[in-house]
A and B are shown apart, each in its own frame.
Chain A
Amino acid sequence: MRDAGRAAGAGAAVEALFREEYGRLLASLVRRFGDLDLAEEVASEAIEAALAHWPAAGVPTRPGAWLLTTARRKAVDRLRRDKAYAARLAVLQVEAERAGPVPPPEADGGLPDERLQLFFTCAHPALAADDRAALVLRCLAGLTTPEVARAFLVPPATMAQRIVRAKKKIRQARIPFRVPGADELPERLPGVLQVLYSIFTEGYAASSGADLQRFDLAEEAIRLARILRRLMPAEREVAGLLALMLLVHARRETRTGPDGGLVLLADQDRSRWDRTMIEEGRALVLAALSGGPPGAYGVQAAIAALHDEAADVATTDWPQIVALYDVLLVLAPSPVVALNRAVAVAMRDGPEAGLRLLDGLAGEARLHAHHPYAAARADLLQRLGRLPEAAAAYREALALAGTEPERAHLRRRLAAVEPSGPDGA
């Protein structure tokens, strides 16, 4: 119904307003009525009512409060009509109070901001990882189910099924709407951050399909991370995650060429990087890395900042980047981090040193299906003049690469090292 209402011709400004207000509205309703389905239903009805009234009567001075009042009234009507439903929710409320309600933090606008509870519900570890991202996009970013489906390149009916299944689990297994206590937070916050980061990376480098970047999804992730940063200003990893997203997204315009092909960091026109975004990201890196031990997102953001600050690849502070990867390997050890470290070592100490490290990772099963590993080996072999081996590694990377721009880039590199290629050997 919400989709139909939108299609009926909401202005872009009203549309943007609804997107901003939706998560806050939904969170307040869930908190009040303890039921996500009822909250979604009456939130949609309130937005429809707004679409009917506002064009004639004008947008109210506090649109969020107007929507909440209207939605609450509709929920109360609904519960009056459906006594069985009301009785079930009453039981839920009593149980929720038994669990000990967390007092909601007050937001600037007077309306309590209860979105943090909803973040923790949607990103709950008891839900499937893919469903967490879909729920966060739908409930907190205010995307419609067809929009979420488009973002993940799945048919709308499939996405609708997944969302229904996830909501059923929230309701029937009774996943609570609450912010974990201070003792649980270290265990639960990384899960929320992981969901936002997965939305960002999905938008930044689509794992399949024709377009390398899907701007909307990366920007939605940044918008969500900004909300989380406002809600949890003391959490340094939240600052680190937002910084990382901004510092990577600042290069979005130069990451693909006019033909849609991938452009490597070394070849990007750095004058076209988004300086405002870089400055904001750098300030957040400082917040993320001061006042305590560093977190994995803060360190990755610091690495991104060093790239953003450098005039070119040659003058990039590679020793510092290698040192940060050393820290990251301790905080979040993974073969992919080890691969990135090896590439940085190659820049600091030369291709031979990097290749030795890469070959040392050959036993890592996770890297066998990871095309950047083969591509990095190919690049270093090429720089060492070992062209037949480089060609073989480029072919291996080509077979694994998921997006067409990546494949186009690898085909060009392969042509350059093959004797029959246009550039010769």
Chain B
Amino acid sequence: MKYMLLIHAGAVDENGASAECTVEDWMSYDKEVRDAGIHVSSESLADLVTATTVRVGSSGERTVTDGPFAETREVLGGFYVIDVPDLDAALDWAARCPGARGSGAVVVRPVADFGA
């Protein structure tokens, strides 16, 4: 069963480190996920100031805007997709994620399985 861990980290510096956790914390978490054989995919997102939003209106016109700019606590900083047996296992991995500490939070979403 695949779960996406959406990492809403608190404020981070240019290396992805925050007051609550260091770059080393992230590297060791990443290694644990891979060593456990549950890693499906993962990415870390660039700073929110680089984000651009695209909308297409009813007549097909494209609107491109800078942003969005949200509250720091709501910023999606990255994700993991892991393959584990059940929600308890996914919640355990979420709890170990450095992004869950302090002002951060990790949202656990099951990946929809249209084959079932």
A126 in the interface (beta carbon within 8 A): yes
B32 in the interface (beta carbon within 8 A): no
Residues of B within 8 A of A124 (CB): 87
Do the beta carbons of B89 and A88 come within 8 Å of each other? no
Do the beta carbons of A173 and B110 come within 8 Å of each other? yes
The total of interchain contacts (Cβ-Cβ below 8 angstroms) comes to 34
Minimum CB–CB distance from B82 to chain A (whole Å) comes to: 13
Range for the number of chain B residues in contact with chain A: 10 to 19
Do the beta carbons of B85 and A172 come within 8 Å of each other? no
Contact with B along A99-140 (1 / 0, CB 8 A): 100000000000000000000000010100000000000000
Minimum CB–CB distance from A47 to chain B (whole Å) comes to: 29
Residues of B within 8 A of A172 (CB): 110
Contact with A along B96-111 (1 / 0, CB 8 A): 0000000000001010
User: Which of B86, B89, B108, B110 has the most chain A CB atoms inside 10 A of its CB?
Assistant: B86
A314 in the interface (beta carbon within 8 A): no
Q: Which residue of chain A has its CB nearest to the CB of B112?
A: A172
Q: Which residue of chain B has its CB nearest to the CB of A124?
A: B87
Do the beta carbons of B1 and A176 come within 8 Å of each other? no
Give me the 10 closest cross-chain CB pairs, A-B, nearest first: A99-B85, A176-B86, A98-B85, A174-B86, A88-B116, A95-B85, A173-B110, A175-B87, A173-B87, A174-B1
Q: Which residues of A contact B (CB under 8 A)?
A: 88, 91, 95-96, 98-99, 124, 126, 172-176, 178, 180
23 contacts between A and B (CB under 8 A): A88-B116, A95-B1, A95-B85, A96-B85, A98-B85, A99-B85, A99-B89, A126-B87, A126-B91, A173-B87, A173-B108, A173-B110, A174-B85, A174-B87, A174-B110, A175-B86, A176-B85, A176-B86, A176-B87, A176-B88, A178-B86, A178-B88, A180-B88
**Seed contacts A99-B89, A124-B87; 19 additional CB < 8 Å A-B pairs:** A88-B116, A91-B116, A96-B85, A126-B87, A126-B91, A172-B110, A173-B87, A173-B108, A174-B1, A174-B85, A174-B86, A174-B87, A174-B110, A175-B86, A175-B87, A176-B86, A176-B87, A176-B88, A178-B88
Q: Which residues of B contact A (CB under 8 A)?
A: 1, 85-89, 91, 108, 110, 116
